[in-house]
Amino acid sequence: MAKTTNIAVVSIPAFSHQASIVGFCKRLVHLHDHFHVTCIFPTIDAPIPATLAMLESLPSNIDYTFLPPVQKQDLPQNASSLVLVQTAVSYSMPSFRDLLRSLVSTTSFAALVADPFTNEAVEIAKGEFNLLSYIYFPISAMTMSLLLHLPKLHQQVLCEYKDHKEAIQIPGCLPLQGHDLPSDFQDRSCVDYELILQRCKRLPLADGFLVNSFYEMEKGTLEALQEHCKGSNNNNSCVYLVGPIIQTEQSSESKGSECVRWLEKQRPNSVLYVSFGSGCTLSQQQLNELAFGLELSGQNFLWVLKAPNDSADGAYVVASNDDPLKFLPNGFLERTKGHGYVVTSWAPQTQILGHTSTGGFLTHCGWNSALESIVLGVPMVAWPLFAEQGMNVVLLNEGLKVALRPKINENGVVEREEIAKVIKGVMVGEEGNEIRGRIEKLKDAAADALKEDGSSRMALYQFGTQMENVGKCLSYSLMEVTK
């Protein structure tokens, strides 16, 4: 019987990152059933309810622990969500150190796998416990390449990125305009950018990188990343594309959801699903324009509605308790009754995207949502709001050509006529058919990557085998010590 190989993983207090790394852990222990994984979660105030629900279905060889919560009142006031999350992670590091010391002293641990924004944990794991340490990127290989090269880019570009006249070239990636770089990069004097820059400088500490993407989608980027790692100071560290990793389990709540029952009554490919993820919010003005744009398009829609907020990441850490319906334009629900359905709480996204009635997805293009749309073959209206979403849209719109991107006016607003135009472009007509054909091919490539001999499965197998070998060496070392 194979000896147990123990690893720990640590994420940030954000559901999208936690869901992705837990999905990675499930796939790892399914392929290597003698692995045991301990998931470690820093926490703000209390565990995220969606995370608690997700953790109910863990297999027996994955367990988890929440670090003592950091109170939101002790974090910087009026700070961005990025600063809140990163400060909470930093405050949690003493607790993480104590937990890791306890785990290592009682069990032979092979490695730590950390979110890129918990890489302070990598310093602790390598410097104090001599553990192999890996970074798991729940984002694209394209964004990973940007983060690896940011310290060099910071020196090369002396002005604000959005004011840089030429396209910015990141190795292995499509050319980027400065305004498409992550929102936290747009003011280089702010604390958000400085925090990211500090963490990017730590990335070369890692012994390897795992990325939630797949070879057939980001082949050129992977090759550039591998070349970069060979020439860097991190000992020829490996890059493993192990995706697409998405949430696929259906809860009892999703099976009986009213919006799914509504979908059952619609024609195939006739419904546009509208959702900006768990953390993104629109301003009141933009919410109005979206409502009128949906109405003007004449297309059936299922809209997951959140209360407006002037900050695009207004629900990233703490969601509003306001009733979203009261912010809709007067008469909107009455005028769209019969061909529109508005959800004001949670919706089973993968079940909706996989439904035969769903023909398009208006999305903020968070990486989890983008991958879910690709895996389920749904064309996109790509509307980035913050973080690295602009880069994801460049890949989806310009590179893969599976999405349409609405134009923003000089005041930073997408107007109703433009919204209606891109919705109809995806849902009906020749352009929509061409996008549908391309995303069907990408859907097939994603499925192939996960087959027994697929690129992502083989990459995960190679990573697991490396951990097994480390585990054997640790066991042998312990035997020598105890002789």
For residue 153, give Cα distances in angstroms to 142, 147, 168, 185, 188. Answer: 15, 10, 9, 11, 12
Residues 307 and 201 in one domain: no
Q: What is the mean pLDDT of residues 49-66?
A: 94
Residue 426 and residue 406 in contact, taking contact as beta carbons nearer than 8 Å: no
Cα torsion for 39, 468, 249, 281, to the nearest 10°? 50
**What CATH number should be reported for the domain holding residue 183?**
3.40.50.2000
pLDDT at 483: 39
Q: Could you tell me the residue range of the domain that residue 417 belongs to?
A: 253-445
**Backbone φ and ψ of 316, nearest 5°:** -70, -40
Cα dist. 180→146, 161, 162 in Å?
A: 12, 9, 8
In a domain, 248, yes or no: no
For 317, the token pair is 């850490």
Q: Is the pTM of this model over 0.95?
A: no
Please state, for a pLDDT cut of 90, what percent of the chain lies above it. 81
Same domain flag for 219 and 290: no
Residue 341 lies in a domain: yes
- Tell me if 464 is assigned to some domain: yes
What is the pLDDT at residue 264? 95
Domain assignment of residue 473, yes or no: yes
Query: Per the residue annotation, which of 30, 98, 115, 179 is the catalytic one?
Result: 115
468 and 401, same structural domain? no
Q: Across-strand partners of 272?
A: 301, 360
Same-domain check for residues 433 and 458: no
Q: Is residue 19 part of a domain?
A: yes
Secondary structure of 397-424 as H, E, C letters: HHHCCCEECCCCCCCCCCCHHHHHHHHH
Are 459 and 428 found together in one domain?
Answer: no
Q: Are residues 189 and 159 in the same domain?
A: yes
Same domain? For 323 and 347 the reply is yes
- Do 161 and 270 sit in the same domain of this protein? no
For residue 17, indicate whether it is catalytic. yes
Q: What confidence tier does 79 reach under pLDDT thresholds 50, 70, 90?
A: confident
Q: How many CB atoms lie within 10 A of CB 249?
A: 13
The pLDDT tens digits of the residues spanning 165-176 come to 999 999 999 999
Confidence at residue 415, expressed as pLDDT on a 0 to 100 scale: 98
Residue 401, pLDDT > 90, answer yes
pLDDT classification of 434: cutoffs 50, 70, 90? very high
Give the confidence band of 432 by pLDDT, cuts at 50, 70, 90.
very high
User: Would residue 269 count as lying in a domain?
Assistant: yes
For residues 398 and 434, state if they share a domain.
yes
What HEC string does 217-261 produce?
CCHHHHHHHHHHHHCCCCCCCEEEECCCCCCCCCCHHHHCCHHHH
Render pLDDT for 284-298 as a digit per residue (tens, 0 to 9): 999 999 999 999 999
Q: What confidence tens digit (pLDDT) does each residue in 111-148 have?
A: 999 999 998 999 999 999 999 999 999 999 999 999 99
Q: What is the mean pLDDT of residues 213-237?
A: 83
Q: Do 232 and 272 fall into the same domain?
A: no
Residue 161 has pLDDT above 60, yes or no: yes
What integer best gives the mean pLDDT of the chain? 91
Q: Mean pLDDT across the stretch 186-209?
A: 94
What gap in Å lies between CA 155 and CA 151, rounded to an integer?
7
Asked if 437 and 397 sit in the same domain, the reply is: yes
Residue 235 lies in a domain: yes
- More confidently predicted of 253 and 95: 95
Confidence at residue 236, expressed as pLDDT on a 0 to 100 scale: 58
Higher pLDDT, 102 or 311: 102
**Given this model, what pLDDT does residue 280 score?**
84
Residue 274 three-state SS? strand
Name the DSSP letter for residue 215. T
In this prediction, residue 230 carries a pLDDT of: 79
Backbone angles phi, psi at 243, to 5 degrees: -95, -175
Distance, CA of 363 to CA of 399 (rounded, Å): 17
pLDDT band at 475 (very low <50, low <70, confident <90, very high): very low
pLDDT at 481 over 50: no
8 A C-beta contact, residue 273 and residue 362:
yes
Share of the chain residues as helix, strand and coil, in percent rounded to the nearest 5: 50, 15, 35
d(CA 192, CA 197): 9
* Of the candidate ranges 114-128, 181-195, 237-251, 307-321, the one whose mean pLDDT is the lowest: 307-321
Residue 404 lies in a domain: yes
What does the pLDDT average to over 381-385?
Answer: 96
Q: How many domains does the chain have?
A: 2
115 is catalytic: yes
pLDDT band per the 50, 70, 90 thresholds, residue 381:
very high
The angle that helices 455-482 and 429-449 make with each other, rounded to 10 degrees, is 30
Q: Are residues 266 and 178 in the same domain?
A: no
